[in-house]
A and B are shown apart, each in its own frame.
Chain A
Amino acid sequence: MSKHPVIEWIDRRFPFTAFVKHELTEYKVPRNLSYWWNFGFLAGFVLLLQIVSGVFLAMHYKPDAKLAFDSIEHIMREVNYGWLLRYLHSTGASAFFAVIYIHMARTLYYGSFRAPREIMWWTGQVLLLSLMATAFMGYLLPWGQMSYWGAQVITNLFGATPIIGGDVVVWLRGDFVVGDATINRFFVLHFFFPFLICGIVLVHLVALHFVRSSNPSGINLRAEENISLHPYFTFKDLFGLGVFLIIFCAFVFFSPDFFIEPDNNIPANPLQTPPHIVPEWYFLPFYAILRAIPDMLGGVVAMTLSVMVFAAMPYLDRSKIPGGSRYRPLYRAMFGVFVLDIALLTYVGAQPATDEMTIIGRIATTIYFSMFMLLPIMSKKEEAWLFVRGLPQEVMAMIAEEKDDDRRRREKDRRKNERRREQE
C-alpha cells in the first residue's frame, strides 16, 4: 500500500509512521492479557477527562475564600452544562482512584512489579502520590465544610514534623488557619500538578514499551504468543472503556451526590467543625492507620509508610519463581488477606473513633504491615516448598533460563575486567 503524500511529507521530517508502527501496530503484547490489564488505559482516559473538565471549570471558578463557594453554585446553576462539568470532575476523582487501585491490585496479584519492571512500579508510586496530593488540594476548592475541615486536619498532620512542625503548617497554609491564601495556592497547585502527572505518565509509558507488558502466567511468552497492540488491544481497551463509561455515567447523571458529603453543601465556617469528619472514601484505609497509632508523630509516620511501603515490593518479594499468584498459592493467600484487610480499614476509617473501632483499626493496621514484613521470609519459604512439591516445566525452564542469563552476564563482566587488567 502506497503512503499518502501528506504522510510521506511528514515522514521525511518526523518519524510518524515509524512511531505508529513501533508503538501501536507492531508493538507486541502478550495475547493472554485479561481485562484486568485494561485499567492502565482507563487511568489515562480518566486523567484526560479530569484535565478537560477541570480546564473548563477553571474558566468559571474563583479561588477566593469569599467567592469560591458561590462560584461553584454559579457553575452548578447558571453556567451552561456547568452541573455536568462539575459532576464529571467530582465523580471523575473517585473514578480515578477506583481505576488506579484496581490497576495496583492487578500489579500486586500478578507480580508485575518484579524485575525488570521496577521503574514502572516506582513511577506508578510517584503517580499515586501526585494523584493523592492533587485530589486533596482539589477537595478544598469548593470551600464547603468538609473541604475546609479536611484541609485543616490534613495540613495539621505536618505539625508532627519534629521541631519545625508548627512553622511548616503555617507555611503550607500561608495563614494561621486554612484561609484565603491557602485556597489560592491550592488552586494553583491543583492546576499545576496534572502537568507533572502527564510527565511522569510519559516515563511510565516509555518504561512499559521498553520492558513490555507482564502477563497473567508470569512467565515470558514465546514470540508467536504475542500479538500487536493495534487492533487487538486497542479494541479490547475501547470495549472496556465503554463498560467503564456506562458505570461512570450512571453515577454522573443519576447519583452525582453519592460521592459528595452533604456537609460540603454548607459554606466553610472556620468557627464550627461538623460533628463527623470523614475523608473521601479513597483515603479511608490510610486515615484508619493514622488513627490506629496513639501518637501524632507515630500516626503520621505510619500513614506515610503505609503508602510508601509499596515501593519496596520488588525487594520484599524474594521468590525465584516468576510472576505473582499464578504458581504461588501462599502469595495468593497473602494477597487475599491484604485486600480483605484494606476493606476492613476502609470500614474502620469511615466510623467514629469508638473504643472497639480503635481496637479493630489497630489489629487491621498490624495485619497491613505484617503482610509486607512477612513477605521476604514467606516468599523464600514458599519457593523452597514449591521446588520440593514440583512446578510446571515452563516455570522451571524460565528459572533455568534466568540462571543462564545471570551466568552469561557474570561471565561477560569477568572477561571485561580481565581485559582491562591486561591493558593496564
Chain B
Amino acid sequence: MKKIEILFTLMIAPLSVWASGGEVPLMQVDLAHDAGTRKQGAEVVLTVCTGCHNLKYIKYRDLQAVGFSQQEIDDLRGAAEMTAPIMSLSPPDMLKDTYGVVPPDLSLIAKARAGKGRYVYTLFNNFYMRADGNVDNHLFPGIRMPDVLGVAAMGEGPDKKAFQESMKKVASFLEWASDPNAEERESLGFYVLIYLIIFTLMLGVMKRRIWADVH
C-alpha cells in the first residue's frame, strides 16, 4: 500500500510551483508573426528579461533572423562571440539566493507551456496586488518572479494598453525563439502536401485502371 501511494504521488503530485494554468483561462490574443514584431519583442527581452534569464539556445548570430543588423548585434554582444549563446549577466548562484530558484531559460519557454505565446501574455497580465501588499500572479500563484514591469500597480489606461502591446511582441519573439524553424517547416510542408495530393491522385487513377478488369 505504501509503495502504491508513492507511485501515485509520483504520477499525480500536485506541485504549485509548476503552473499548469488550470484555473485561469488563457487570454485570447492574436500574435503577429513578422520579423519586425519579433525584433521589437527581442529588444524588450534583451534589455529586461536577460537580466536574470538565459536565452541559451539563441545565439547572437541568430538575431539576424529577426532583423537585427550586424552593428546592432555588435553593440549587444560586446566582447562575446557571434556564436555565443545569449546568457544572463547575473550569476545563477546569486539569483538562487535572491529568488529561491534559478530563473528558467527562456529559449524554450513558449513551447514548454500549454498555449505557448498566449501563456506568456496571460502570465504578464495576471500580476496583482495581494491584500498584504505583496505581488502575486493569478495564473501562477506563488510565482517567484517580481513584477518587473509594475503590472499590478498599473491599473487600466494608456499605460496598460502600451504594456499589452509590448507583451504581445515579447510573446511573439518567445514563440519564435522556441521554434525558429516554424516558417521554413510550414512553407516546405505546403509543397510536400501539394506533391502528395497530386501523387496520391495519380496512384488512385492507376489503381482504378489496374483493377478495372477485376470487377
Using CB atoms and an 8 Å cutoff, list the residues of chain A in contact with chain B.
31, 73, 76-77, 83-84, 87, 149, 152-153, 156-157, 159-160, 227, 231-232, 235-236, 238-239, 242-243, 245-246, 249-250, 252-254, 256-257, 262-263, 265-266, 272-277, 291, 294-296, 299, 352-353
The interface-forming segment of B67-75, B137-145, B185-193 is B185-193
Q: How far does the Cβ of A167 sit from chain B's closest Cβ, in whole Å?
A: 14
Query: Once the chains bind, are A277 and B111 in contact (CB under 8 Å)?
Result: no
> By the criterion CB–CB under 8 Å, are B18 and A149 in contact?
no
Kindly identify which residue among A236, A256, A272, A295 contacts B15, using a CB–CB cutoff of 8 Å. A272
List chain A residues, Cβ under 8 A from B108: 73, 265-266
For B200, what are the chain A residues with a Cβ–Cβ distance below 8 Å? Answer: 239, 242-243, 245-246
Say whether, besides A77-B180, A239-B204, A249 and B7 are in contact (CB < 8 Å): no
The B84-136 residues at the A interface (CB cut-off 8 A) are 104, 107-108, 111-114
Contacts of B181 in A (CB 8 A): 76-77, 83
Docked Cα-Cα span, A31 to B11, in Å, equals: 49
Docked-complex contact B185 and A353, CB < 8 angstroms: no
17 contacts between A and B (CB under 8 A): A77-B180, A232-B210, A239-B204, A242-B200, A242-B203, A242-B204, A250-B193, A253-B186, A253-B193, A254-B186, A256-B185, A265-B178, A273-B9, A274-B15, A275-B14, A277-B10, A299-B4
- Residues of A near B11 (CB, < 8 A) are 153, 277, 291, 353
Question: A266 and B112: CB pair below 8 A?
Answer: yes
Complex Cα spacing A254 to B14, Å: 32
Residue interface bits B1-43, CB-to-A below 8 A is 1, else 0: 1011001111111110110100000000000000000000000
Cβ-closest chain A residue relative to B17 = A272
* Chain A residues positioned under 8 Å from B15 (CB to CB): 272-275
Chain B nearest Cβ from A178, distance in angstroms? 11
Interface centre among B3, B9, B207 (most CB of A within 10 A): B207
Question: Which of B10, B104, B107, B114 is in CB contact (< 8 Å) with A262?
Answer: B114
What does the 1/0 interface line of B195-210 toward A look like (CB < 8 Å)? Answer: 0110110011011001
A267 CB, min distance to chain B CBs, angstroms: 8
B13/A275 in contact, CB under 8 A: yes
Q: Which residues of A contact B113 (CB under 8 A)?
A: 262
Give the complex CA separation of A205 and B161 in angstroms. Answer: 65
In the complex, how many residue pairs between chain A and chain B have their CB atoms under 8 Å apart?
A: 117
**A263 near B189: Cβ-Cβ < 8 Å:** no
Given A235-B206, A277-B12: A84 and B185 within 8 A (CB)?
yes
B189/A232 in contact, CB under 8 A: no
In the assembled complex, the CB of B24 is this many whole angstroms from the nearest CB of chain A, namely 15
Q: Which residues of A contact B196 (CB under 8 A)?
A: 242, 245-246, 249
Q: Which of B11, B189, B196 has the most CB of A within 10 A?
A: B11
With contact pairs A83-B181, A236-B207 given, residues A153 and B214 touching in the complex (Cβ less than 8 Å): no
Taking CB atoms, residues of chain A closer than 8 Å to B4 are: 294-296, 299
In whole angstroms, what is the CA distance A299 to B206 when docked?
Answer: 51
Interface of B is mostly: helix
Which 10 pairs between the two chains have the least Cβ-Cβ distance?
Answer: A253-B189, A242-B200, A265-B112, A296-B4, A235-B207, A239-B203, A265-B111, A273-B13, A239-B207, A83-B181
Interface size on B, residues (CB 8 A): 44
Given contacts A152-B10, A239-B207, contact A254 B189 (CB under 8 A): yes
Residue of A nearest to B7 (CB): A156
With a cutoff of 8 Å between Cβ atoms, the chain A residues found around residue B178 in the complex are: 265
Instruction: Write the B156-191 contact mask toward A (1 if CB under 8 angstroms, else 0).
Output: 000000000000000000000010110001101110
Taking CB atoms, residues of chain B closer than 8 Å to A253 are 185-186, 188-190, 192-193
The interface residues of chain B lying within 8 Å CB-to-CB of A296 are: 3-4, 7
How many Å lie between the Cα of A89 and that of B12 in the bound state?
A: 28
A153 and B13 within 8 A (CB)? no
How close is A201's CB to chain B, nearest CB, in angstroms?
A: 24
B206's nearest neighbour on chain A, judged by CB, is A235
Give bound CA distance, A227 to B210, whole Å: 12
- Give the docked Cα–Cα distance between A252 and B181 (Å): 13
Could you tell me the distance between the alpha carbons of A286 and B63 in the complex, rounded to whole angstroms? 46
Cα distance, A266 to B3, chains bound together (Å): 27
Contacts of A232 in B (CB 8 A): 210-211, 214
Of listed B7, B111, B210, residue having the most chain A CB within 10 A = B7
B7 touches A276 (CB 8 A): no
Contact B20 A273 (CB under 8 A): no
Q: How far is the CA of A275 from the CA of B9 in the complex (A)?
A: 10
Q: Are B185 and A235 in contact (CB under 8 A)?
A: no
CB pair B7–A83 under 8 Å, yes or no, is no
Decide if A77 touches B18 in the complex (CB within 8 Å): no
Interchain CB contact under 8 A, A276 and B20: yes
| B111 and A262 within 8 A (CB) | yes
Residue of B nearest to A265 (CB): B112
A231 touches B210 (CB 8 A): yes
Residue of A nearest to B119 (CB): A262
Contact in complex: B111, A257 (CB < 8 Å): yes
Measured in the bound complex, the distance between the Cα atoms of B178 and A272 in whole Å is 23
Question: Besides the contacts A249-B193, A352-B12, what 12 more A-B pairs have beta carbons closer than 8 Å?
Answer: A73-B107, A83-B185, A87-B185, A152-B10, A153-B7, A227-B214, A231-B210, A246-B197, A253-B189, A262-B112, A276-B20, A291-B11
- Chain A residue contacts of B180, Cβ below 8 A: 77
Tell me the complex Cα distance, A156–B11, Å. Answer: 11
